[in-house]
Amino acid sequence: MKIWDDSTAMETPAAYWGYQAFYWGIFTAIGLAINLANGGNALNLVISHILFFFYSIGLTHVFRGQILRWRSHHPSVIRMRFRLFLGILIIGFIQTALIISIDIALNGTRLQDWPRAAVAGLAWGMYIGTLVWTIVYVRITERRAQEQREAKMQLALREAELRALEAQINPHFLFNCLNSIRGLVVEDPPKAQDMITRFATLLRYNLNHDSRHTVPLSAEAEVVADYLALEKVRFEDRLRLQVAIDPAAASLQVPPMILQSLVENALKHGIGRLPQGGEIQIRAAARNGSLVLEVENTGELTDSLPGDTQVGLNNIRERLRILYGDRASLALRSSGDGKVVATVQIPKDS
């Protein structure tokens, strides 16, 4: 699913052309009324204004094509504003030049007949006209894109929550967990109590999930800790853990369930397949303006990952793209010495 690239979906053709006709229609009509009031050849004025109406639509239409192309590369806000400003200047200049040229052609005037102040006034008028056109266009389409992103984000998040729900509270996990806790009740009652509490916390997190798009990494890490504590009861010595979360990274925002999904993957496809078990290392650090999350597990990266791994990882990729465009990434690679590392990079500023 492409989120950013279907920029044309930000508007319907009818709405777009309606806006073009309405905006430049009003603008041209006001200009025509003022010029007629000032006197001059009425027929020539009407002709030049009709021409103005059409080439203004043409120019802003080309400009809009360019805006969509720029958007598809997700430029930064400042860069986009700079480009828009430059585009407005160019269009204003062309409009001014065309108005003067057409006047010369229709009325036989000469360039010298245009006083500097009149040219400047005309140019200002054109700049402001195109500026307002652009602001309205960009605002409306951005809001629509934002709404669409929200909707898709909600959808992807719900899907991820559902999957996480299935993974943690997946019946297999649930019943194995209950069975282990039943065993603990005899062997180690205080630990059994602790596990029941963690189990409750995990259930609550999953049942009361809210629809926030991001949560502090520290909150996500707490849930992962509960989850891993429960898995540790089952796996015992076969699951070894190392968690290193940089204090500077703990307060940064991450999409909910992201660490959780990575850890589940590591357990399901790494440790869970090894009779001798293995180690999971969770690392989080702030680096060069990015938050880097790494989940490393003992295991092999098989060429043909089972479908559900791909689904899980694809869901993470999807949510990262919706939230951060091209500025976030997820990579899964084999680190050579029998370890698999999943790395997520998220821009810090968002």
- Name the site residues for other proteins (rule: CB under 8 A): 171-176, 178-180, 182-184, 186-187, 233-236, 272-275, 277
Query: Would you say 123 and 112 are in contact if contact means Cβ atoms under 8 Å apart?
Result: no
- Which lies closer to other proteins via its Cβ, residue 149 or residue 238? 238
- What does the block give as tokens for 26? 């009003």
Q: What is the residue-wise DSSP string for 59-127?
A: HHHHHHHHHHHHHHT---HHHHHHHHHHHHHHHHHHHHHHHHHHHHHHH---GGGS-HHHHHHHHHHHH
- Which lies closer to other proteins via its Cβ, residue 25 or residue 338? 338
- Which lies closer to other proteins via its Cβ, residue 41 or residue 179? 179
Q: Write the Ramachandran bin of 277: left for phi over 0, alpha for psi from -120 to 50, otherwise beta.
A: left
Q: Among candidates 177, 179, 172, which has minimal Cα distance to 226?
A: 177
- Which lies closer to other proteins via its Cβ, residue 86 or residue 200? 200
- Which lies closer to other proteins via its Cβ, residue 292 or residue 305? 305
Report in angstroms how near the CB of residue 177 gets to other proteins at its nearest. 8
State the burial class of residue 108 (Cβ atoms within 10 Å of its Cβ: 0-12, 13-18, 19+): exposed
- Which lies closer to other proteins via its Cβ, residue 75 or residue 277? 277
CA atoms of 46 and 51, how far apart (whole Å): 9
Spacing of C-alpha 258 from chain mean position: 15
Query: Would you say 347 and 289 are in contact if contact means Cβ atoms under 8 Å apart?
Result: yes
Residue whose pair of structure tokens reads 């629509």 in the numeric block: 144
CA atoms of 166 and 243, how far apart (whole Å): 24
Report in angstroms how near the CB of residue 188 gets to other proteins at its nearest. 10
- Which lies closer to other proteins via its Cβ, residue 25 or residue 183? 183
Report in angstroms how near the CB of residue 269 gets to other proteins at its nearest. 11
Stretch (H or E) spanning 244? strand 239-245
**DSSP β-bridge partners for residue 309:** none
Report in angstroms how near the CB of residue 261 gets to other proteins at its nearest. 21
CA atoms of 232 and 224, how far apart (whole Å): 12
Report in angstroms how near the CB of residue 164 gets to other proteins at its nearest. 18
End-to-end CA distance of the chain: 22
Report in angstroms how near the CB of residue 182 gets to other proteins at its nearest. 5
Question: Any residues with CB less than 8 A from the CB of 145 and at least 6 apart, and which?
Answer: 7, 10
Report in angstroms how near the CB of residue 276 gets to other proteins at its nearest. 9
Query: Would you say 253 and 216 are in contact if contact means Cβ atoms under 8 Å apart?
Result: yes
- Which lies closer to other proteins via its Cβ, residue 174 or residue 301? 174
Query: Would you say 203 and 238 are in contact if contact means Cβ atoms under 8 Å apart?
Result: no
Q: Give 182-190's long-range contacts (Cβ < 8 A, gap of 24+).
A: 184/233
CA atoms of 299 and 265, how far apart (whole Å): 11
Report in angstroms how near the CB of residue 270 gets to other proteins at its nearest. 10
Report in angstroms how near the CB of residue 163 gets to other proteins at its nearest. 17
- Which lies closer to other proteins via its Cβ, residue 173 or residue 199? 173
